[in-house]
Amino acid sequence: MPQNLTRKIISAHLRSGDMAPGAEIGLRIDQTLTQDATGTMAWLQFEAMGLPRVRTDLSVSYVDHNTLQMGFRNPDDHRFLRTVAAKFGAVFSPPGTGICHQLHLENFAKPGATLIGSDSHTPTAGGVGSLAMGAGGLSVALAMAGEPYFISMPKVVRVRLTGTLTGWATAKDVILHLLGKLTVKGGVGKVFEFAGPGVAGLSVPERATITNMGAELGATTSIFPSDAKTKAFLKAMGRAADWQELIADRGADYDDEIAIDLSALEPLVAAPHMPDRAMPVRELAGRKVDQAAIGSCTNSSYADLKTVALMLRGKQVASSTDLLVSPGSKQVLAMLAREGLIEPMLEAGARLLECTCGPCIGMGGSPVSAGVSVRTFNRNFEGRSGTQDAQVYLASPQTAAMCALQGAFTDPAGWGQAPAKPRMPAKVPDIRHLFIFPPKDGKKVEVLRGPNIVPIESFPGLPSRVEAPVALVVGDDVTTDHILPAGAQITALRSNIPAISEYIFSRVDTNFVSRIKGLGGGVVVGGENYGQGSSREHAALGPRHLGVKAVIVKSLARIHRANLVNFGILPLLLVDPADYAKFALGRKVAIPAADITPGGVVELAVEGAGKVAVRNDLTDKELAVIRAGGLLNSVRASRS
């Protein structure tokens, strides 16, 4: 029977389950990646399993999120990650080498391989035909231990591309168009598989831009075929042996199809404060721009930055606008330097930043108060930039560069002829010597940990009845940035759950932490798409540490739902969304936990409001994990 590309890879890695949409499947994982904001906790969890070595084909520990190294916490964590990788057999990427997704695409991602990473933008590797998914750190730790990764079998949506990008339209505009069409929850439970004649006109970096931001759709992942363009890219990276052709069979079935004519696209932006608020750049003409930031795992490739350098050559950034440029890797930086393309950016007035995530997660580069910032990043959530009242627009590198030069949005009709797309050189600088590969035997390696690295907390199991007050009520589209903000100060506490928990919901309700401590625990009530955004499991771990027993919402984002399960928090869905109004701060909620069955419905007793019906979409395995007090407890019990 003909198979689509997604089902081909899943069937080749299937360890358990039935490939029917919605059914639970367990997948063998070939590769994992972690980054420093999530990796310390993932490695602490792996350590707790007592295994001598990782059991994947490849595991890489990247340091790219918080490289500021202010005080001892970050450098201590980086040293821990370096030594723990050496001990357990992972590759280590030191701070400043580059952004994990850009580096993985260049150096390790393979067509047909499965990859999970403790970062929601892991689907970037789908640009070379890898089935790559974001996951919580504990799920990644278990994959490193050789355990299968469990997900619901996704529906596969064929995105048929026709035509070619013209004028100033770019790959960024493809995904912004798709986000505007489907919204940030339009991809839940789905894989977007790109196909059609338009695919051949997109380079691997362009494809990776699209798969990277597919995460903003809430999708399980996005993937392109592995074809001649993939082969050329891997050959240029010195990895021709990693290539294999991987395409959908003729006549393969899909669960749905979307058509996009690339020739009809125009430059778009995502307006504040959601990636799906897509609108044409021309409609913003005249709006002043205080800052432009070019980089992130979405748009920091050689091709992106070469285009920007050529646009800036001989010109100067507007005096009222700051321009920040973050290369995605030292390989990208070396390629630009070889071609004399650093100087044009510097002479134009751009600030060249380290090869890291940087401003994308509020690590420096914050806009001025109430400032307009045009960024080539993937998220523009309120406050994520580090400036709470900033107005952040997401755009292509070309649009951001033009905004920097003009000091404002302008109509692309007046931009003149668009620059030609840069071609990847036949051979590129090799930076693999900068990675630290593990010794064959890590028994003699000492894992070094600083005083901020706190042992993993053990949580109790689920009681037969949960009685707890409502500790917080929030609305729709609450992100993990709302639950636990990023930024240098907070992210430095990633290895210390008691300390980082003091910031839970701090930008939503400054009284939340003191309130839930005073209540002795509670439940959180939310609206649609609760927990979208970053994969950071600290957004589940922190609430669990503070005593959150359950979240009661209209709908949940995929990765955050998995993190709630992993740490023993009940994810409950309102049968009637109108019942959301029955919950108020302080009202006591009684949950008959013993009566909960996988996929079943129970009634909660809400003080002053009567009964409220809730359902769950848990599997037998997931419910057992919650009853055990979390996945780590469950795994320990199964091995004892």
Tokens 């000492």 sit on residue: 446
Q: What is the mean pLDDT of residues 383-409?
A: 96
**Residue 113 pLDDT:** 98
- Considering the candidates 30, 64, 77, 579, report the single residue annotated as catalytic: 64
Is the pLDDT confidence value at 363 over 90?
no
Distance between CA atoms of 563 and 628, rounded to whole angstroms?
15
- Considering the candidates 82, 449, 515, 536, report the single residue annotated as catalytic: 536
Cis peptide leading into residue 273 (ω within 30°): yes
**Residue 488 pLDDT:** 80
What percent of the chain shows pLDDT beyond 70?
A: 100
Distance between CA atoms of 287 and 237, rounded to whole angstroms?
41
Average confidence score pLDDT of the chain: 96
Is the pLDDT confidence value at 87 over 70?
yes
Is the pLDDT confidence value at 457 over 90?
no
Distance between CA atoms of 398 and 307, rounded to whole angstroms?
7
Burial class (CB in 10 A: 0-12, 13-18, 19+), 522: buried
Residue 183 φ/ψ region, left for φ over 0, alpha for ψ in the -120 to 50 degree band, beta for the rest: left
- Considering the candidates 36, 76, 77, 119, report the single residue annotated as catalytic: 119
CB atoms within 10 A of CB 549: 22
**Residue 489 pLDDT:** 82
Q: Report which of 545, 552, 539, 541 is spatially closest to residue 589, judged by C-alpha positions.
A: 552
Q: What is the mean pLDDT of residues 111-116?
A: 98
Cα angle 564, 566, 569; round to 5: 40
Show the beta-strand stretches assigned E in 196-264.
Answer: 221-223, 256-261
Distance between CA atoms of 208 and 228, rounded to whole angstroms?
16
Q: Report which of 24, 19, 16, 26 is spatially closest to residue 4, judged by C-alpha positions.
A: 19
Please provide the CATH number assigned to the domain covering 5-264: 3.30.499.10
Q: Report which of 229, 217, 225, 265 is spatially closest to residue 248, judged by C-alpha positions.
A: 225
Longest CA span, the chain? 70
Q: What is the mean pLDDT of residues 376-398?
A: 95
Clarify whether 222 is annotated catalytic: no
Q: What is the mean pLDDT of residues 521-528?
A: 97
**Residue 427 pLDDT:** 82
> Given this chain, do its domains 5-264 and 268-413 carry the same CATH topology?
yes
Beta carbons of 196 and 163 less than 8 angstroms apart: no
Give domain limits for the chain: 5-264, 268-413, 466-639
Clarify whether 119 is annotated catalytic: yes
pLDDT-based confidence at 426, cuts 50/70/90?
A: confident
Clarify whether 430 is annotated catalytic: no
Least confident piece of the model among 445-449, 484-488, 607-611: 484-488
**Residue 235 pLDDT:** 96
Residue 395 makes CB contacts below 8 A (sequence gap 6+) with 172, 267, 268, 269, 270, 281, 374, 375, 376, 403
Residue 626 makes CB contacts below 8 A (sequence gap 6+) with 462, 565, 568, 569, 570, 618
Beta carbons of 609 and 588 less than 8 angstroms apart: no
pLDDT in tens, 207-253: 999 999 999 999 999 999 999 999 999 999 999 999 999 999 999 99
Distance between CA atoms of 618 and 589, rounded to whole angstroms?
21
Distance between CA atoms of 17 and 233, rounded to whole angstroms?
35
Clarify whether 379 is annotated catalytic: yes
Copy the structure tokens of residue 606: 């809400």
Q: According to the CATH classification, is domain 466-639 in 3.90.180.10? A: no
pLDDT-based confidence at 491, cuts 50/70/90?
A: confident
Copy the structure tokens of residue 470: 């409502």
Sheet of strand 58-62: strand arrangement: 91-93, 58-62, 31-35, 114-117, 131-134
Distance between CA atoms of 269 and 276, rounded to whole angstroms?
9
What percent of the chain shows pLDDT beyond 90?
A: 92
Residue 364 makes CB contacts below 8 A (sequence gap 6+) with 68, 353, 358, 386, 488
User: Which amino acid type is present at position 444?
Assistant: K
pLDDT in tens, 41-86: 999 999 989 999 999 999 999 999 989 888 899 999 999 999 999 9
Q: 503 by DSSP, 3-state: which?
A: helix
- Considering the candidates 101, 104, 379, 544, report the single residue annotated as catalytic: 379
The sign one gets for the Cα dihedral 116, 118, 122, 128 is negative
Clarify whether 536 is annotated catalytic: yes
Q: What is the mean pLDDT of residues 315-326?
A: 98
Task: Return phi, psi of residue 599, to 5°.
Answer: 75, 5
Q: 549 by DSSP, 3-state: which?
A: strand
Q: What is the mean pLDDT of residues 582-589?
A: 97
Do strands 91-93 and 58-62 pair parallel, antiparallel, or not at all (unpaired)? parallel
Is the pLDDT confidence value at 179 over 80?
yes
Do strands 466-473 and 522-525 pair parallel, antiparallel, or not at all (unpaired)? parallel
Show the beta-strand stretches assigned E in 53-183.
Answer: 58-62, 91-93, 114-117, 131-134, 149-152, 155-162
Clarify whether 18 is annotated catalytic: no
Cα angle 582, 587, 588; round to 5: 110
**Residue 9 pLDDT:** 98
Q: What is the mean pLDDT of residues 545-574?
A: 96
Cα–Cα distance list, 199 to 235, 299, 623 (Å): 19, 18, 41
Tokens 């069955």 sit on residue: 597
Q: Report which of 434, 379, 535, 420 is spatially closest to residue 106, judged by C-alpha positions.
A: 434
The domain defined by 268-413 folds into Aconitase; domain 3 (3.30.499)
Beta carbons of 89 and 59 less than 8 angstroms apart: yes
pLDDT-based confidence at 640, cuts 50/70/90?
A: low
Is the pLDDT confidence value at 23 over 80?
yes
**Residue 498 pLDDT:** 95
